[in-house]
Chains A and B, each alone.
Chain A
């Protein structure tokens, strides 16, 4: 029972990282119906940028907590800015010129972009996997209250929640309440009519890519601080997991992406723990295929009108 709870906690924290990346897939798919293959790679580069900045700022284990958190906050903001810029540049270079091309053209362009970015990571950091030590203590927070619990929630896991949950809340506020969010929803529903109503469709799409890129950057930082590792081909598997999460929740659906991410994190953790890590990927892809075949609208259903 304790083991199960512990597994669920680990799955939940990884699921939150999946959710951040899945939101990028779902936002982009929602607005231009493109599976942005390069998104996983933006996440991977985000983790590398975060790692570089953390080392450059001298973040190391044993610093006092306030300084560490302040520096991490700086790294978070810079990483998010850089990945947002990267993502919107990708859109400008590889997808916008193909806006009026047949549908599979941007998809193939995205696959090409994904390989380009993978190789950028490979050129930049080399082929070996990079590590970063725990700067946020990996100890049980219940210990503060003098409790010796057998099921541990660590500071690191608390940190994952502290970064992801506010971002998710800000995002849903942005999409639901702001003028720009309204423009995004309108464009997702019908870009032609949205354009006729005076919405700058290209700008709205660019904003969507900026948000998606920023979320991927945040996920990259959390990845390096929570899972302590990154490598040039991290983006492919992670991206497919995140895409599966988006599909699982119902692609185009923001709440769905978060739910899907969490469910997928749990599936991953349970499979790693009780089955075997070598089968986890097969299970994830099996889930992906099964959803697409039997319930392509996902758990929560597709919110956008199907324009296909």
Chain B
């Protein structure tokens, strides 16, 4: 699995699909040998990773099997159930995608939820009875005579990714030359507009040339679209709410996005993104087509959210515009910041932790608070619903992370270095003279807890660009 996923394999001499297939098969046959070599070269790391993979794959069984009173007394915290696992996967896919935009290319996108919504509605349009007047069924497991368009999930995923990418490019083309904070606001506006459109385009009367719409219900309005077909492969339903199959579907999609993102990061394009993040002008001087490169980051990042949206809609079997709010965009940003901006594994961990806290830990903590309250003779404690205040926690987390550990808990080495090279004289509103009289030693220590390599020039330019975070 090198760069084959994004670069076409060129065959010298005669060949064709069969030769290519044989090469692939040989490569896969070589995996056990490669794995053995890895074990010999890095025994600890490889064993650890193997165990991790086994644990993730086996997690639903482990949880179902060991949920005994004994194990609960050893590990009292709640374990995430199947729907939470699926949402961990959905948000991990989005975190990996947004990490391309913010982490690799350094463009702050605060309206990422728009692409998530576009993906979800694409799935809804292509696999539901919404277009009742049409009847088009392709490889889909629906009863005969069922109205509407019904495509299989494995086609919808690609269409959703493409739709989101197209909208990403459409939004990016006019706006990517804006400065960092202006871009953030424009994307925020876009993220608000898209759900408004989905909510309001319900009784559309519109005439333009041959196109005539009379009371057309384009989006299902505030009720959204349901039911949406469940993902279905070879007769196995991957959308059973309550079962573990949707988790595996999400896991497969997540692994695909990881492979793609890893290859992108190490490609020529990935290096161009990081060059732009460091210093756009210098990158342009070195021959990087900055507009095209940024557009690609935006479009590719958006396509990941499209995939996540398609998964969400197909899994839940319904989609409504209320599901896509500004806070969802911020949730993904929180995942990236907590996990470690620029580091794929970090942001995935961030997604899993944030989802766990939001959907498992806080709902569980409510009744516990009540028990503690009763024990202490203060039953009002039980009236507090902690999950209502998840964003209080996440807000505090954002402020504290920016202050004390801006590179996240699993930092990318490169970004960590950048974060801590504070430009000494380009700092806004805080020239050197003032520095001397105001900050205490404690403060300057807090500003640089991890000593990073100092490269004042690079950081200086970075600050001027406003690109890197």
User: B175–A293 contact, CB under 8 A?
Assistant: yes
B269 within 8 A of A: no
Contact count A vs B, C-beta below 8 Å: 186
> Considering the complex, which residues of chain B in the window 162-217 have a beta carbon less than 8 Å from any beta carbon of chain A?
174-175, 178-182, 184-186, 188-190, 192-193, 196-197, 199-200
Mostly, the B contact residues are helix
Q: Which residues of B sit under 8 angstroms from A104, Cβ to Cβ?
A: 108, 180-181, 184, 466, 468-469
B451 to chain A, nearest CB (A): 16
User: Interface code A94-123, partner B: CB below 8 Å = 1, 0 otherwise?
Assistant: 100111111111111101111110111011
Chain-A contact segment, one of B9-17, B34-42, B47-55, B397-405: B397-405
Contacts of B180 in A (CB 8 A): 103-104, 107
Q: How far is the CB of A39 from chain B (nearest CB, A)?
A: 13
Interface residue ranges of B409-440 to A (CB < 8 Å): 418-419, 422-425, 427-435, 438
**Minimum distance in angstroms from B192 CB to a CB of chain A:** 5
> What residues on B are CB-neighbors of A111 within 8 Å?
110, 330, 333, 395, 398
B380 within 8 A of A: no
Evaluate contact between B403 and A98: CB separation under 8 angstroms.
Answer: yes
B395 touches which one: A105, A106, A116, A202 (CB < 8 A)?
A: A116
* Contact of A195 with B431 at beta-carbon distance under 8 Å, contacts A100-B422, A113-B399 already known: yes
- Asked if A98 meets B402 with Cβ closer than 8 Å, knowing A105-B469, A187-B429, A293-B174, the reply is yes
CB contacts (< 8 Å) of B357 on chain A: these are none
Chain A interface mostly helix, strand, loop or mixed? helix
Are A112 and B397 in contact (CB-based, < 8 A)? yes
Determine whether the beta carbon of B431 is less than 8 Å from that of A191: yes
User: With A and B bound together, what is the CA distance between A286 and B178 in angstroms?
Assistant: 16
Asked if A288 and B430 make an inter-chain contact with CB atoms under 8 angstroms apart, the answer reads: no
A99 touching B429 in the complex, CB below 8 Å, given contacts A111-B398, A282-B197: yes
- A34 to B327: give the CA distance in the assembly, Å: 20
- Interface flags, A203-243, vs B, CB<8A=1, else 0: 00100000000000000000000000000000010001001
A-B contact pairs, 14 of them (CB 8 A): A102-B418, A104-B468, A106-B402, A109-B403, A112-B397, A112-B398, A119-B391, A127-B388, A200-B434, A202-B434, A279-B196, A281-B192, A285-B190, A289-B186
Question: Measuring CB to CB, which residues of chain B are less than 8 angstroms from any residue of chain A?
Answer: 108, 110, 174-175, 178-182, 184-186, 188-190, 192-193, 196-197, 199-200, 326-327, 330, 333, 337, 388-389, 391-392, 394-399, 402-403, 406, 418-419, 422-425, 427-435, 438, 443, 446-447, 459, 462-464, 466, 468-469
